């Protein structure tokens, strides 16, 4: 399982071989990733034979949105599930990856949260999702989208800032060995305030997305249990600190739920927070999940919420939802497989 080895330690797997073998291998793992070891053409067949490339089996690959969305369900040897979703657009190809199998945050509207926590993912398991998508794109492309991962978002399963150590090592490798730009990587958090401050002090400057969903503590605590530990003001102050330290404007994520956080009062409060953080707001209509009756607002109510934000001077985008028919949309990961398996 080559991706579980620190890329700087790869020489240790072939102690008898000259040093350039490890460099060749590192190239195939991180610079020009391949789906199978057979494709590592400059490495002798005998050496390739025993290599185990991926730290997971790809149990299912599902395609949706006329081939522009691909979801993978990967399974680690201990049974932990890892899901990643690739989305092609005109000028970018975005990969959404998982940082944990399951999630302990228990946000009420999120399928991953509804099913609980399995375990943290290791740095190598996080990086391997990116390498797998890169290898897939090199072989198959994705319609007319760029055939490489141009954007990476930690918006799959898990709370990345609750798995700080492994996520940090993963970002070290992605920006170092793999050569991705930190700015093209977005860490999305539900608001682990102390970890947001730590992130601000890292040498690389990734983009930060804060999943707010409610603009007062009373409502937020009912949707996001972590709000009781790190209330809104602490999350906002940590986010301001991130902005001051990195010079990067964070974005705010808002999953719109009918009759819950789609009121004009919430829009006004959200606009005030966005002004203070100079943030862009991404609104996404809820993707329904199995364990609650929550629904997205109607198109008219969604429009009214967005118009209210815009007229208060906020920058807002309504995000499209991809992969709904394959349970690959935001917050739906892990839903299907957990409901069919006893
Ligand atoms: N734990 C991190 C990253 C994973 S969730 C976080 O909370 O940011 C990624 C995004 O998907 C978050 O903004 C989250 O609020 C959103 N999301 C979760 N469930 C959703 C659902 N059912 N419909 C729409 N968006 C959802």
Do residue 61 and residue 45 come from a single domain? no
Long-range contacts of 73-80 (CB under 8 A, 24+ apart): 73/337, 74/129, 74/132, 76/101, 76/125, 78/119, 80/118, 80/119, 80/121
Separation CA 113–CA 246 (nearest Å) = 30
Instruction: Report pLDDT for 329.
Output: 67
pLDDT > 80? residue 57: yes
Does 340 have pLDDT greater than 70?
no
Ligand 1 mutation target, pool 250, 257, 260, 284, most atoms within 8 A of CB: 284
Q: Are residues 10 and 127 in the same domain?
A: no
Tell how far the Cα of 78 is from the centroid of ligand 1, in angstroms. 26
pLDDT of residue 114: 86
211 lines ligand 1 (CB under 6 A): yes
Atom of ligand 1 nearest to the CA of 282: 13
Domain shared by 182 and 37, yes or no: no
Q: Which residues are catalytic?
A: 83, 330
The reply to whether 156 and 223 lie within a common domain is yes
Question: Taking all residues of the chain, what is their mean pLDDT, rounded to a whole number?
Answer: 94
Structural domain ending residue among the three candidates 53, 77, 96: 53
Our answer on whether the CB atom of 210 is closer than 6 Å to any ligand 1 atom is no
Q: Measured from the CB, is residue 162 less than 6 Å from ligand 1?
A: no
Pick the range with the lowest mean pLDDT from 100-114, 124-138, 157-171, 181-195.
100-114
Q: For residue 340, report the distance from its CA to the centre of ligand 1, in Å.
A: 22
Q: Separation of 314 CA from ligand 1 center, angstroms?
A: 21
- Whether the pLDDT of residue 336 is over 80: the answer is no
Angle of helix 193-200 relative to helix 232-246, nearest 10 degrees, comes to 0
Helix/strand/coil (H, E, C) string of the chain?
CHHHCCHHHHHHHCCCCCHHHHHHHHHHHHHCCCCCHHHCCCCCHHHHHCCCCCCCEEEEEEEEHHHCEEEEEEECCCCCEEEEEEEECCCCEEEECCCEEECCCCCCCCHHHHHCEEEECCHHHHHHHHHHHHHHHHHHCECEECCCCCEEEECCCCCHHHCHHHHHHHHHHHHCCCCCCHHHEEEEECCCHHHHHHHHCCCCCCEEEEECCCCCHHHHHHHCHHHHCCCHHHHHHHHHHHHHHHCCCCEEEEEECCCCCCCHHHHHHHHHHHHHHCCEEEEEECCCCCCCCCCCCCHHHHHHHHHHHHHCCCEEEECCCCCHHHCCCCCCCCHHHHHHCC
How do residues 239-268 score in pLDDT, each as one tens digit? Answer: 999 999 999 999 999 999 999 999 999 999
For residue 275, how far is its CA from the centre of ligand 1 (angstroms)? 22
Are residues 222 and 195 both part of a single domain? Answer: yes
Instruction: Name residue 88's beta-bridge partners.
Output: 93
Give the integer Cα–Cα distance in Å for 262 and 264.
7
Residues 117 and 258 in one domain: yes
Cβ of 189 closer than 6 Å to ligand 1, yes or no, is yes
For residue 331, the ligand 1 atom closest to its alpha carbon is 19
Tell which one of 153, 188, 256 to mutate to probe ligand 1, the residue whose CB is within 8 A of the most ligand atoms: 188
159 lines ligand 1 (CB under 6 A): yes
Residue pLDDT, tens place only, 176-208: 999 999 999 999 999 999 999 999 999 999 999
102 with 220: CB under 8 angstroms?
A: no
Q: How many domains does the chain have?
A: 2
Q: Are residues 318 and 172 in the same domain?
A: yes
Q: Are residues 167 and 262 in the same domain?
A: yes
Residue 333 has pLDDT above 70, yes or no: no
**For residue range 218-237, what is the model confidence (pLDDT) as tens digits?**
999 999 999 999 999 999 99
Specify the residue with its C-alpha closest to ligand 1, atom 21: 331
Q: What is the pTM of this model?
A: 0.95
pLDDT for 341: 37
pLDDT at 289 (0 to 100) = 86
Q: Do 201 and 296 sit in the same domain of this protein?
A: yes
Residue closest by Cα to atom 11 of ligand 1: 330
The CATH number of whichever domain residue 7 belongs to comes to 1.10.150
pLDDT (0 to 100) of residue 211: 98
Closest C-alpha to ligand 1, atom 1? 159
Q: At 152, which CATH number?
A: 3.20.20.70
49 shares its domain with 64: no
Residues 237-246 have pLDDT tens digits of 999 999 999 9
User: From the CB of 122, is ligand 1 less than 6 Å away?
Assistant: no
Q: Is the CB of 190 under 6 A from ligand 1?
A: yes
Is 327 a pocket residue for ligand 1 (Cβ < 6 Å)? no
192 with 299, same domain: the answer is yes
Domain boundary among 11, 29, 53: 53
CA distances from 28 to 32, 164, 193, 261, 323 (A): 5, 27, 37, 47, 30
Residue 172 has, within 13 A of its CA and on its CB side, a CA count of 12
Judged against a pLDDT cut of 90, whether residue 332 lies above it is answered with: no
Is 289 close to ligand 1, i.e. is its CB under 6 Å away? yes
Residue 338: pLDDT band with limits 50, 70, 90:
very low
Tokens, residue 123: 């740095």
30 vs 21: CA distance, rounded Å: 14
pLDDT in tens, 306-326: 999 999 999 999 987 777 777
Which whole number is the average pLDDT over 44-66?
A: 93
Q: By percentage, how much of the chain surpasses pLDDT 70?
A: 95
Boundaries of domain holding 32: 1-53
187 and 48, same structural domain? no
**Which of 20-29, 111-120, 222-231, 270-279 is least confident?**
111-120
Mean pLDDT of 288-309: 94
């Amino acid at each position: 399982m080559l991706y579980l080895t620190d890329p700087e330690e790869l020489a240790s797997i072939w102690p008898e071989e000259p040093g350039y073998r490890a460099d060749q291998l590192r190239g195939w793992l991180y610079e020009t990733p391949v789906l199978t070891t057979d494709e590592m053409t400059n490495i002798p067949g005998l050496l390739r034979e025993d290599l185990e490339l991926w730290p997971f089996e790809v149990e299912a690959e599902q395609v949706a949105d006329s081939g522009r969305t691909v979801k993978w369900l990967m399974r680690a040897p201990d049974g932990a599930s890892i899901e990643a979703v690739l989305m092609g657009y005109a000028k970018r190809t975005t990969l959404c990856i998982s940082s944990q199998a399951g999630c302990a945050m228990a946000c009420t509207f999120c399928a991953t949260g509804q099913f609980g926590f399995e375990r943290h993912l290791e740095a190598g398991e996080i990086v391997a999702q990116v390498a797998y998508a890169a290898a897939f794109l090199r072989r198959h492309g994705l319609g007319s989208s760029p055939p490489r991962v141009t954007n990476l978002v930690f918006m799959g399963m898990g709370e990345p800032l609750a798995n700080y150590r492994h996520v940090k090592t993963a970002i070290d490798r992605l920006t170092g060995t793999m050569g991705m730009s930190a700015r093209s990587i977005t860490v999305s958090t539900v608001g682990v305030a102390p970890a947001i401050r730590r992130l601000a002090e890292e040498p690389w400057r990734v983009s930060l997305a804060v999943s707010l969903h409610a603009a007062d503590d009373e409502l937020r605590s009912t949707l996001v249990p972590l709000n009781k530990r790190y209330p809104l003001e602490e999350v906002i102050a940590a986010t301001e600190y991130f902005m001051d330290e990195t010079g990067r404007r964070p974005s705010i994520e808002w999953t719109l739920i009918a009759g819950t956080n789609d009121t004009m009062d919430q829009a006004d409060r959200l606009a005030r927070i966005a002004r203070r953080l100079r943030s862009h707001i991404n609104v996404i209509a809820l993707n329904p999940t199995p364990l609650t009756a929550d629904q997205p607002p109607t198109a008219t109510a969604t429009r009214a919420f967005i118009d209210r934000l815009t007229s208060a001077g906020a920058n807002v985008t309504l995000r499209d939802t991809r992969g709904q028919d394959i349970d690959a949309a935001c917050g739906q990961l892990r839903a299907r497989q957990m409901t069919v398996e006893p």
